[in-house]
Chains A and B, each alone.
Chain A
Amino acid sequence: MTSLLKNSELSIEKADKIVSETLNSCDDGELYVEDTKSETIVLDDNKIKSSNYTSDLGYGFRAVTGDTVAYSHSNEISEKSLKNSSDNLKSTLKNNSGTYNSEIKKTNQKLYKDIDPIESKSMKSKIELLNNMNEYARSKDSSVKQVTASLLAEKKNIEIIRSGGELLSDNRPLVRINMSVMVEKNGRKETGVYGIGGRQDYDEYLKNDNWKKVCDEAFRIANTNIESKPSPAGEMKVVLGPGWPAILIHEAVGHGLEGDFNRKKTSAFHDLVGKKVASKGVTIIDDGTIDNRRGSLNIDDEGTPTERTVLIEDGILKNFMQDRLNARLMNTKSTGNGRRESYKHVVMPRMRNTIMLGGTNTQEEMIKSVDKGIFAVSFGGGQVDITSGKFVFNCTEAYEIINGIVGAPIKGATLIGDGPSSLKEILMVGNDMMLDPGIGTCGKAGQGVPVGVGQPSLLINNMTVGGTQL
């Protein structure tokens, strides 16, 4: 029983036959079929600038033997096209032969509803919402000079057909509401950006005029930055706020704990399992099973049920995040981290919701303990060099701390640190763990996937701040 091949020229029986015949002599692989509908509506410069609807259907056929992966994808769904792909896979793997591992865990996990968020709200009411957001944000202050608001909704249905005819499927809704406000005052221009989202209908996120809070927050950040002074440069103590600043965790250790880099021994963490990589009291998990979160999945893109994987426990490195290929080559089990952006992309170990658990300190005592440092509340993007372990992230809202007191806001600065050592520099872990508002997208090897992060407030002993004030 398949729904995605229903209207195509390829019957499920034919697909099964080609899949089984191709993968028989391989270690692993599958046919992945994906049907994605998405809609983006953007209001920009007081106008509905664009309304785009995309409908994408295609398959990715993968065969794996040893550590060699052959992949072929197409959006022509036909017997001929799949046979071509099959020939292509066979030619790559002609010198290898394996034994198909048909074992895959089953689940009844239902972390989100099977809904179509695009159709759940009429086009008229979406346009009205964007207009309301625009007017509301502009009415906040005459210094608001530019507003961009957008609504994104997606319904991605996937099916995985394994050798032997086993079929696994998942229907994944996703929405995101974004707001960007530019404020101009005394010849200075600053922006504030905020957004919310997850795997529910728009209305769940819009309850109680929640969209106003999104506008308020974007305006607040822009308005704070307009008063900002140049950021200091050099090493200092950093207090991180709870929630979204956990992209520090994502960059500093998350990527370095993905199975592929460790199997290939190119990660700075590859020989540190069982060793102390973080301060006592630091526990980090990657959890794909939180209801309705942006990074949650019932099954990953290989069909493995997601789970809550403990990466670091009380400072000790416990596990890497694995897909089937890297797990097999490292003699362990997939942790349900095998993900891909779409049928056009190969599977890799990727994060889901990466979270540092709460501790016992208060944010107040962290700030009080700092003589000279910065208090970083919100961030833009981050990036990491897996091999050297160096990572950066960009502050979008930060303040100086002088003698235990939060002072003036400072201009957006880049913070740089060293992954394996920075977690050992954590002096206090807060009791205020919070998840991010549901807007993160992680990029790796050209593939973007939705992810979540979370953390409590943290006090870090030493990070380098990329300011302009010496």
Chain B
Amino acid sequence: MIKDQDYLKKIADICLSKSKKLGSTDASILVQSSVSENINVRNKKLDGSERSENLGVVLTTYLGKKKSSIASSNLKESNLNELVDRCIETMKITPEDEYNSLPDKDLHFSGLKDLDLYDETHLSNEDKINYIKEAEDEAFSNNKIVNTNGSGFGENKSNFLLANSNGFSDGYKTSQFTAYCEVVSKSNGSMERDYEYTSKRFYNDILKPKELGSIAADHAVKKLNPKKIKSEKISLIFDKRISKNFLSIFASAISSSAIAKGTTFLKDKLNQKVFNTEININDRGDIKKANGSRYFDSEGIGIINLDLIKNGILQDYLIDTYNGKKINRKSNGRASGTTNLYFENGSKTFSELIKSEKKLLYIKETIGHGTNIINGDYSVGASGIMIENGEFSYSVSEITIAGNLNNIFQNITLADDLEFNYSTNSPTMHVEGMIVGGK
């Protein structure tokens, strides 16, 4: 069972009052409790079960402009006392940093909590096993699926309390239901794996097991018998599960920490055209039941909606209190990063997009960590499917795709097939003229 707010508050009070007693001028604390249950199935047989109960506390103390933090999973009072002592001792000898402070009181969240982020549905292990077996059954109904890497179902419930010495104290429960199916296809000596994944706050919103299994199987079969293509300059279509990665890259490039330090290719680009004029990017924390929705960030600051890109122009950064002070801006509630970040739909249909050029490479998977936020260089391994005259023809693997994000962002065209499946979402994406490294 997850702990209730009263329990979390008791722990918070112990730490806050102890740190005040020991001389800290300010303090903030996060107390969390979560329970998750996961079931894994492989080849339609139970492979494992996992149950985890987690408790944790993170305390930050301030002495004027000095700061230090401790974290612990051991919530016994004697241990907490010891850790607060240590935190205060360290704080005293840590040098001052003029930007250290608790968040602006006026920006603290206050208001209704009506976003529906908690589903109390509890599935028994039997129900979880049945769901995921049904998904694997469906995947195996495809005769090219010969094996599975394992499929799983997870249920997570958590509760937290965030409090600080400026009077903020609030928290709430969230839930997450997650299922994945990862299968192996085989044909003519070629072996490939692929997956499908679904994760929602409400059990009723996740994919039905048959859908999950059949999509995973379809992905894995389409990858079979890949060819390696010649190096060339070619336009790419990014499948939705990859195109959303460009939003994550964009988000890290406009974080106030990177902006303040100058370690991003988007520094000094505010009010400038970063994407082409048809592109709009929003970050909304108030979508009901959505994975990325939240009432306040990890500092207690209320979430406001941000239009980050409007007609291609950069409108805002993602700002927390500390880095906001460095760049002379108020926090906009993004100390925990983005909420529900998405590209607005483009004007073309998926079918128009894949017919827009005679030859296009459809990217379904990228591997590697080849993104350099500092200068925008991008180079990753990839696999996908060649599109010729608007038709998917053969699968392609062992290639690289490369370019610079400054150019890539300017050359994006989007389809109109946006769905809110994750916390970061993009429609299918066309990027003109990237370099493919192959034979």
Contact = CB atoms under 8 A, between A and B. Distances in A.
The answer to whether A and B interact is yes
A68 interface: yes
A116 interface: no
Interface in B32-49: 42, 45-49
B146 to A, nearest CB: 9
A90 B233 CA distance: 58
Nearest to A36: B73
Contacts of B192: 387-388
A414 B380 contact: yes
Nearest to A265: B147
Given A182-B374, A387-B193, A88 B49 contact: yes
Contact of A470 (B223, B228, B231): B231
A55 interface: yes
A90 B54 CA distance: 21
B237 to A, nearest CB: 19
A124 B97 contact: no
Interface stretch (A45-53, A200-208, A281-289, A349-357): A45-53
Interface stretch (B130-138, B204-212, B395-403): B395-403
B261 A387 contact: no
B112 interface: no
Contacts of A466: 370, 379-381, 400-402, 437
A447 interface: no
A467 B46 CA distance: 45
A381 interface: yes
B377 A266 contact: no
Interface stretch (A183-191, A238-246, A331-339): A183-191
A139 interface: no
Contacts of B265: 189
Interface in A124-142: 124, 127
B436 to A, nearest CB: 7
B139 to A, nearest CB: 14
Given A55-B79, A388-B192, A412-B377, A465 B400 contact: yes
A110 B439 CA distance: 49
Interface stretch (B13-21, B82-90, B338-346, B411-419): B82-90
B191 interface: yes
A292 interface: no
B70 A52 contact: yes
Contacts of B290: none
B299 to A, nearest CB: 15
A414 B52 contact: no
Contacts of B42: 67, 264
Contact of B74 (A48, A56, A146, A344): A56
A447 to B, nearest CB: 12
Nearest to A191: B374
Contact of B381 (A81, A390, A468): A390
B48 A70 contact: yes
A387 B184 contact: yes
B181 to A, nearest CB: 14
B125 interface: yes
A413 B380 CA distance: 8
Contact of B90 (A45, A51, A413): A51
Contacts of B86: 53
Contacts, number: 250
B261 A146 contact: yes
Contacts of B69: 50-53
Nearest to B78: A7
A81 B369 contact: no
B68 interface: yes
Contacts of B67: 50-51
A325 B368 CA distance: 30
A135 B205 CA distance: 54
A265 B261 CA distance: 48
B111 interface: no
Contacts of B400: 233, 392, 413-416, 464-467
A467 B402 contact: yes
B269 interface: no
B70 A412 contact: no
Given A67-B47, A387-B192, A464-B399, A75 B53 contact: yes
Contact of A383 (B150, B263, B381): B381
A394 interface: yes
Contacts of B438: 234-235, 464
Contact of A394 (B79, B262, B368, B375): B368
Contact of A464 (B99, B370, B398): B398
Given A51-B68, A68-B48, A417-B398, A394 B73 contact: no
A85 interface: yes
A250 interface: no
Contacts of A381: 368-369
A92 interface: yes
A382 interface: yes
Interface in B90-113: 90, 93-95, 97, 99
Contacts of A415: 400
B55 interface: yes
B6 interface: no
Q: Which 4 residue pairs across A and B have the least CB separation, nearest first?
A: A466-B400, A392-B381, A392-B368, A233-B437
6 contacts: A44-B261, A68-B48, A127-B95, A416-B368, A464-B438, A465-B437
Given A75-B73, A464-B400, A470-B232, 10 more contacts: A51-B90, A52-B68, A182-B263, A190-B374, A383-B368, A390-B381, A394-B379, A412-B372, A413-B370, A470-B231
